[in-house]
Structure 1
Amino acid sequence: MEVILKEDVNKLGHRGDVVKVADGYGRNYLLPGKLAIEATAANKAVIEQMKASAVRKSAKEKVEASALAEQLNAVELVFERKSGENDHLFGSVTSSDIAHELAAKGFTIDRRKIALDDPLKTIGEYHVPVKLHREVTSHVKVTVKGDREEVAEAPAAEATA
């Protein structure tokens, strides 16, 4: 099935591209989600208008994304989680957690735009990339702290007989 993309789709193409996809993927995901339209003769005539519009829209989005990236570069998030031996967390910090904290600070970022390969499972400081636009990526500083307090080892009580 050939479709014309109305939005950028990860690992498939950009807005205005004509791509060939599996029938089920097109019918069940792209078309209902209004991410694409079927590539008929009439729709192919509209591609040029869509591409011009897409270029204008992309330029506007890039400017907005650049401004947001400047603000996000200054943001620092701190998470406190239960930790065990060797600074390993019992839970983890996921992209959803980061998106939720960013929302609490006034930034509405979709969790899918947070490029976290694996959840953060150890204590430390991380710079997590946030893909705001295909050409604009920001980095958010994330600090993960453990709740374990380092207990000083008390001297062993001597047995008296």
Structure 2
Amino acid sequence: MKIILTQEVSGLGSPGDIVEVKDGFGRNYLLPQGFAIAWTKGAEKQVTVIKRARSAREVRDLGHANEIKGQLEGLKVNLKARAGDGGRLFGSVTPAEIVDAVKAAGGPSLDRRRLETPGHIKSLGAYPVSIRLHPEVTAKFDLNVVKG
């Protein structure tokens, strides 16, 4: 199935990219979530408009992305979560909670969809978290999950 991405999808592409995916992935996930639109000749003409707008944003955001990266890499982020006696959490840590913890620690506001965690965070401890600020800039910081 040929689709046109409308948002950045990790491991697949950026907005405006035309990609070939398996039918089930496109039909059951990408299209209903609004991450992509079905490919047609008319829609392909819209790709140039999407890419032009994206390139204008990227050039403007590269310096800003490096600035945010500097802020994030010097940041100590602590997240309080409810946990049992063995250090196992009641539930798991969500990207929205991580974004809120970064903001509470004095960091910038981030897009939760661009966060990359090392799997599901379901216990207390320190975890490396990275965020794609720009196609060329990825910031990494440590998230400390503490009992709260």
* TM-score, normalised relative to structure 2: 0.68
What's the offset of the Cα at 1:138? 1.5
Verify the 8 A CA contact 1:5 1:18 in the aligned structure 2: yes
Q: Which residue of the partner structure matches residue 150 of structure 1?
A: none
Provide the residue aligned with 1:114 in structure 2. 115
- Once the two structures are superposed, residues 100-141 of structure 1 have per-residue CA deviations (whole angstroms, 9 ceiling, x without a partner) of 312334633244433221427354x55432332332111223
Secondary structure of 2:14's counterpart equals coil
Match of 1:89 in 2: 87
Gaps of 5+ in 1: 148-161
1:1-161 equivalence runs, <5 A: 1-79=1-79, 89-91=87-89, 94-96=93-95, 97-104=97-104, 105=106, 107-118=108-119, 119=121, 121=123, 123=125, 127-144=128-145
Q: Does the 8 Å CA contact 2:72/2:107 hold for their aligned counterparts?
A: no
- Distance (Å, rounded) in 2 between the aligned partners of 1:80 and 1:24: 38
Give SS of 1:132's match.
Answer: strand
Mapped contact 1:95–1:112 kept (Cα < 8 A): no
- For 1:90 and 1:9, locate their aligned partners in 2 and report how far apart those are by CA, in whole Å: 30
Counterparts in 2 of 1:39 and 1:106: CA distance versus 1, 3 Å: same
**Contact in 1 for aligned 2:76/2:143 (Cα 8 Å):** yes
Structure 2: state its 5+ residue gaps: none
Change in Cα spacing, 1:42 to 1:101, as seen in structure 2 (3 Å) is same
CA RMSD of aligned residues (A): 3.2
Deviations 1:27-85 (A, max 9, x none): 4433344432322122223333332332222333433322221221221123467686x
CA 1:39–1:78 in structure 2 vs 1: closer, same or farther (change >3 Å)? Answer: closer
* Percent of aligned pairs sharing the same letter: 28
In the other structure, the counterpart of 1:158 is none
C-alpha contact (below 8 Å) 2:118/2:127 kept by paired residues = no
